[in-house]
């Protein structure tokens, strides 16, 4: 065992998250044994760097989310209410299709819900903060206090989640066209 461990290499946390994100995109989940083999580290080293599977999944999902947000914003930079709505639509369309995230929700609904709803892992908090930053970049809701803007962002994210995950966490699929008036109302300060 000592010889096997010494043959393994040192791995940086950033590399572990990147590897986990790539593994997730390929497999719609995270197998820690397979990831350890892919990264050429022992399972013990992987857990030492990552903490837990949930923590690593949360970091990997956030890395994927951040990339999707950046790609959507590059395609449609936020500059006003309409561009924010279009950015959200683009993001929602990417995730609403046959994505690894949707496959993961179907395969591991309890884990997925825990990661996205629990404040422990921060996926929801990070999504809310990213949405707030989009609002600021677009110059929408300029009269709100920072706390009010964060609250508005939280409501916005939860509405968008009803489109992304409505059919997975509840009995009803929600189309983007149904929530668009509510999103527009939030952005117009109503």
Ramachandran class of 149: left when φ > 0, alpha when ψ lies in -120 to 50, beta otherwise:
alpha
Q: What percent of the chain clears pLDDT 90, i.e. is strictly above it?
A: 59
Q: For residue range 32-51, what is the model confidence (pLDDT) as tens digits?
A: 999 999 999 999 999 999 99
CA distances from residue 12 to 66, 85, 146 in whole angstroms, order as listed: 20, 37, 35
Task: Please name the residues in contact with 124: beta carbons below 8 A apart, sequence gap of 6 or more.
Answer: 116, 117, 118, 157
DSSP-derived secondary structure for 131-144: HHHHHHHHT-STTS
pLDDT reading at 139 higher than 70: yes
Question: Which CATH number fits the domain that encloses residue 119?
Answer: 1.10.357.10
pLDDT reading at 4 higher than 80: no
Host domain of residue 40: 2-187
Tell me how many domains the chain contains: 1
Sign of CA pseudo-dihedral 19, 20, 25, 31: positive
**pLDDT grade, residue 119 (50/70/90)?**
confident
Query: Higher-confidence residue: 150 or 161?
Result: 150
Task: Please name the residues in contact with 46: beta carbons below 8 A apart, sequence gap of 6 or more.
Answer: 11, 16, 32, 35, 36, 39
């Amino acid at each position: 065992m000592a010889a096997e461990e010494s043959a393994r290499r040192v791995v940086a946390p950033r590399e572990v998250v990147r590897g986990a994100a790539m593994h997730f995109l390929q497999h719609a989940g995270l197998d820690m044994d397979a990831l350890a083999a892919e990264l050429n580290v022992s399972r013990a080293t992987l857990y030492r760097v990552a903490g837990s599977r949930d923590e690593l999944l949360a970091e990997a999902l956030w890395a994927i989310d951040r990339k999707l947000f950046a790609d959507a914003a590059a395609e449609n930079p936020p500059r006003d209410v309409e561009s924010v709505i279009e950015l959200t639509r683009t993001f929602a369309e990417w995730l609403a299709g046959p994505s690894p995230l949707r496959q993961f929700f179907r395969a591991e609904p309890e884990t997925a819900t825990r990661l996205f709803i629990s404040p422990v892992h921060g996926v929801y908090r990070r999504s809310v903060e990213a949405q707030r930053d989009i609002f600021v970049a677009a110059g929408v809701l300029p009269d709100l206090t920072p706390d009010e803007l964060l609250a508005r962002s939280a409501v916005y994210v939860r509405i968008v989640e009803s489109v992304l995950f409505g059919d997975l966490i509840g009995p009803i699929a929600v189309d983007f066209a149904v929530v668009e008036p509510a999103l527009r109302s939030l952005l117009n300060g109503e």
